[in-house]
Amino acid sequence: MTKAEQYADALVAMVARGTTPAHAVKSLVAHLELRGHKRLLKRLGPLLARRVLIEERSGVMVEVAHESDAAHAKKEAVLFSGDMHIAVREEPSIIGGWRMVSKNMLVDNTHKRHLLDIYKRINISL
């Protein structure tokens, strides 16, 4: 779990315990500034948006490397998700391909995954 994911979990937990969202965000920003982690703020938004979509169970998040991959990824995601709502967003950490995330399913069709599979097969055969 990354630091950004840990902070996103902490923010969600604060709100779940009854803290107002505005107060929780202000407290988190102050904490991040104090710890020198303010640069993580830009990663929290996409993490929280993904979490909300998944928790609602009403949709699927498709993350693509480039906007040009969106149409193809959406067609592929329909095969796995059926008639669920599909949201597409560009994810800079993906070098190529796409990834579909829902409440109980992850379909990873990224170039990184394929490269790791090749790497593992090479190392196993040595």
pLDDT tens, position by position, 100-110: 887 778 888 88
Please tell me the predicted confidence (pLDDT) of residue 50: 73
In the block, residue with structure tokens 């993906």: 94
Res 84 pLDDT > 70 = yes
Q: Does pLDDT of 36 surpass 80?
A: yes
Q: Residues 16-21: what's their mean pLDDT?
A: 85
Mean pLDDT of all residues in 28-40: 88
DSSP letter for each residue of 10-67: HHHHHHHTT--HHHHHHHHHHHHHHHT-GGGHHHHHHHHHHHHHHHTTSEEEEEESSG
Whether the per-residue pLDDT at 112 is higher than 80: the answer is: yes
Among 55-59, 82-86, 111-115, the range scoring the smallest mean pLDDT is 55-59
pLDDT of residue 92: 83
Identify the three-state secondary structure at position 81. helix
